[in-house]
Amino acid sequence: MRVREKALLGLLRKLRDEKQEYICRFAEIASGDVTIEALRIGSEDISRTENRIKQGILDVLRLRKRIEAVEQKLLERHKDVRKVELHLEQMELRWEAEHRRKEQHELDDIAGMRHKR
């Protein structure tokens, strides 16, 4: 998604440059001997490019919202994974403590049997 965002931002820069070029051409046309048709075409080029820029901005904003949602889900999943990891660590510690307790009990039993002899 970040790659797509960068691509969209690159496209927006290109469209901005294109719009600037159309504005410069329009200014050149307007300063010379001009027809209404030439002004209309120049104006339409500028308007069309502005619309594409606006659409591109909306696309970037939508994509950023999606990125934010995915990042939030990843954060939540990371928290869930960490909870499971902690639970497993606690289970392991309890198992080790129980294992040590049983070993100690067995050693105590062996020591008691030897002591009785």
CA 52 – CA 57 distance, rounded (Å): 9
Q: Show the domain range for 42.
A: 2-116
Quote the number of domains for the chain: 1
pTM comes to 0.57
CA 71 – CA 64 distance, rounded (Å): 10
The burial class, CB within 10 Å (0-12 / 13-18 / 19+), for 22 is buried
| pLDDT at 17 (0 to 100) | 87
Give 55-65 pLDDT, tens digit per residue: 988 988 898 89
Give 15-34 pLDDT, tens digit per residue: 888 888 888 877 777 677 77
CA 115 – CA 40 distance, rounded (Å): 111
8-state DSSP, 117: -
Give 76-110 pLDDT, tens digit per residue: 999 999 999 999 999 999 999 999 999 999 888 88
